[in-house]
Amino acid sequence: MKIVSTSVVIANPRRGDEGRASVLPGIRVSDRKERLGDLSDDELLEVAQTARRHASWAQARELAAIAELHRRRVEAETDGDLDYRILPAQESVTEEVAAALTITSNSAAALVHLAERLTGPLAATGAALEAGRIDLARARVICDVTDSLPDRATELVEAAALERASDQTTGQLRRRIKRIAQRLAPASVEERKREAVRRRRMELWENPSGTADLALCDLAVEDGHAIYNKITAVAQALRADGDTRPLNAIRADLATQLLRGVPLPDATRDLLTKASVLGTEASVAGEALAGQTSDRERCQDGDDTDHPAVDAELESLANAAHELLAEARGSVRSADRQRAVGRAAQRIHHRLAVARDLVCQGDRQSHGQPGYRPPAWMRREIEARHATCVFPTCNQPSHRCDLDHTVPWRPGITCRCNLAPLCRRHHRLKQRLDWKLFQIWPGLLIWVTPSGTWHIVRPDLR
């Protein structure tokens, strides 16, 4: 690495700077040239490279911190605690990370897994990331390809990967080390594939442009190709027949028609069901896809409710709660924080009890319902108030959630001030003793995490 004498000093990132963790290793811009506009082109590229190494270093720190938290939480759980109704520590810490970093549970689980691996069996990869020799994307590739390999094969694949990883893109690296893994541990690679096929599924995402993506995921590779080839063959036949739509659009339209059970022109149907079209898997597309009806109507159900705007009172209540919790946490030692914050949230909940009862009794219904199960109108109201599970980063639609009694049920507290949608996972998380959930006002909830931080969830946050 060239040292740019006049402006940018690039320290050797391999030396690290562990002792002074608040100072990033690497770059210092002199007084004379501190604006990017004053740098030459190659200096700019060096700044970019150095910044990328910083990012790698920072990501290594992030992962190391997560790994340490994970280690503590898992260590703290005694075997006697295990209960299928309660989320285990391994997954609880994932939710703690999700809430702290504002990422989905899936992303957090991937991070926790990566953190565990890079501080354990793939420590050399972790060190390469920290030194900025590889970036996070390449560390993920190495973690991904070695997942479920036996220890010895993992070691060998990692060593081979690191030899050239800094000069390869993620695609090149993945192809190269996949071949090595296949050679070293063919049985594990095969088993992993079978395992993945067991999780085959259909997924739906909505796009910012107002469209949606629909995908069949983790199919056996032969099935995927068979379906794709078959639809392509039909699309090409239609093109040859004078259809002017682009091939991609024809493919998408054909698949859509098939999945929605719309009758296709006879010629197309023949092509799709005739075993001769593209080899042996000919019936896959026809039989597997035809006759299924669209889920769309069901998906749209209940989505057109207007969510009431959060009024100013609710917002000031949330702010007040936030201040009280911050005060409670104040100077308390970290080990006692969770209890201090939990008690503060409990106090807020208690103090608002009378006002809450008055609000609930206000109009048509008296406060609470006698039974355990909320009546349909109440369920609709709760689902309109929270379109998704009330864990801060969860996107599970509320119509697929349990309506949880925030304070465990006893007669009279099946009420809008004590019900909130929780998906199965976050329902189990809530059962843990080191997590607390309070509903201080109808629809206004406070989560207290094991580390004593809190997340306030408002009715129309999303």
Q: Report d(CA 110, CA 104) in Å as an integer.
A: 10
Compute how many residues bind Zn ion; rule: CB under 5 A: 10
Closer CB to Zn ion, residue 24 or residue 394?
Answer: 394
Applying CB under 5 A, which of residues 39, 219, 415, 440 lies at the interface with Zn ion? 415
Applying CB under 5 A, which of residues 317, 325, 352, 389 lies at the interface with Zn ion? 389
Binding flag, residue 426, Zn ion (CB under 5 A) = yes
Closer CB to Zn ion, residue 62 or residue 381?
Answer: 381
Closer CB to Zn ion, residue 15 or residue 85?
Answer: 85
Q: 159, exposed or middle or buried, with CB in 10 Å at 0-12, 13-18, 19+?
A: exposed
> What are the start-end ranges of the E strands in 3-146?
8-10, 27-29
Q: Which two tokens stand for residue 360?
A: 């609930």
Residue with tokens 């299928």: 84
Binding flag, residue 285, Zn ion (CB under 5 A) = no
Phi, psi of 364 (to 5 degrees): -60, -40
Binding flag, residue 423, Zn ion (CB under 5 A) = yes
Binding flag, residue 435, Zn ion (CB under 5 A) = no
- Of 350, 344, 351, 346, nearest in space to 324 by CA: 344
Binding flag, residue 447, Zn ion (CB under 5 A) = no
Closer CB to Zn ion, residue 87 or residue 282?
Answer: 87
Applying CB under 5 A, which of residues 394, 420, 446, 448 lies at the interface with Zn ion? 394
Binding flag, residue 27, Zn ion (CB under 5 A) = no
- Of 205, 452, 173, nearest in space to 325 by CA: 452
Closer CB to Zn ion, residue 329 or residue 430?
Answer: 430
Q: Which two tokens stand for residue 341?
A: 């914050």
Closest approach of Cβ 410 to Zn ion, in Å?
13
Residue with tokens 């810490």: 93
At what angle are helices 151-164 and 136-146 packed, to 10 degrees? 150
- Of 438, 449, 394, 427, nearest in space to 109 by CA: 394
Binding flag, residue 314, Zn ion (CB under 5 A) = no
Stretch binding Zn ion (CB under 5 A), from 85-93, 143-151, 273-281, 390-398: 390-398
Q: 207, exposed or middle or buried, with CB in 10 Å at 0-12, 13-18, 19+?
A: exposed
Applying CB under 5 A, which of residues 417, 420, 429, 444 lies at the interface with Zn ion? 417
Closest approach of Cβ 163 to Zn ion, in Å?
42
Q: For the chain, how far is it from start to end, CA to CA, in angstroms?
A: 47
Binding mask 353-372 toward Zn ion (x if CB under 5 A, else -) reads: -------x------x-----
Closest approach of Cβ 416 to Zn ion, in Å?
6
Please report how many Cα atoms fall inside a 13 Å half-sphere around the Cα of residue 437, on the Cβ side: 25
Binding flag, residue 108, Zn ion (CB under 5 A) = no
Stretch binding Zn ion (CB under 5 A), from 127-135, 178-186, 243-251, 426-434: 426-434
Q: Which two tokens stand for residue 335?
A: 């080990």
Binding flag, residue 329, Zn ion (CB under 5 A) = no
The answer to whether the CB of 378 falls within 8 A of the CB of 298 is no
Q: Report d(CA 325, CA 305) in Å as an integer.
A: 33
Closer CB to Zn ion, residue 119 or residue 369?
Answer: 369
Closest approach of Cβ 94 to Zn ion, in Å?
12
Binding flag, residue 428, Zn ion (CB under 5 A) = no
Q: Report d(CA 367, CA 357) in Å as an integer.
A: 7
Closest approach of Cβ 76 to Zn ion, in Å?
23
Binding flag, residue 352, Zn ion (CB under 5 A) = no
Stretch binding Zn ion (CB under 5 A), from 9-17, 174-182, 289-297, 384-392: 384-392
Closest approach of Cβ 419 to Zn ion, in Å?
9
Residue with tokens 């769309």: 296
At what angle are helices 334-351 and 312-329 packed, to 10 degrees? 140
Closest approach of Cβ 389 to Zn ion, in Å?
3
Stretch binding Zn ion (CB under 5 A), from 247-255, 345-353, 379-387, 410-418: 410-418
Phi, psi of 456 (to 5 degrees): -100, 125
Binding flag, residue 403, Zn ion (CB under 5 A) = no
Applying CB under 5 A, which of residues 391, 435, 438, 447 lies at the interface with Zn ion? 391
Q: Is 123 helix (H, G, I), strand (E, B) or coil?
A: helix
Binding footprint of Zn ion on the chain (CB under 5 A): 360, 367, 389, 391, 394, 396, 415, 417, 423, 426
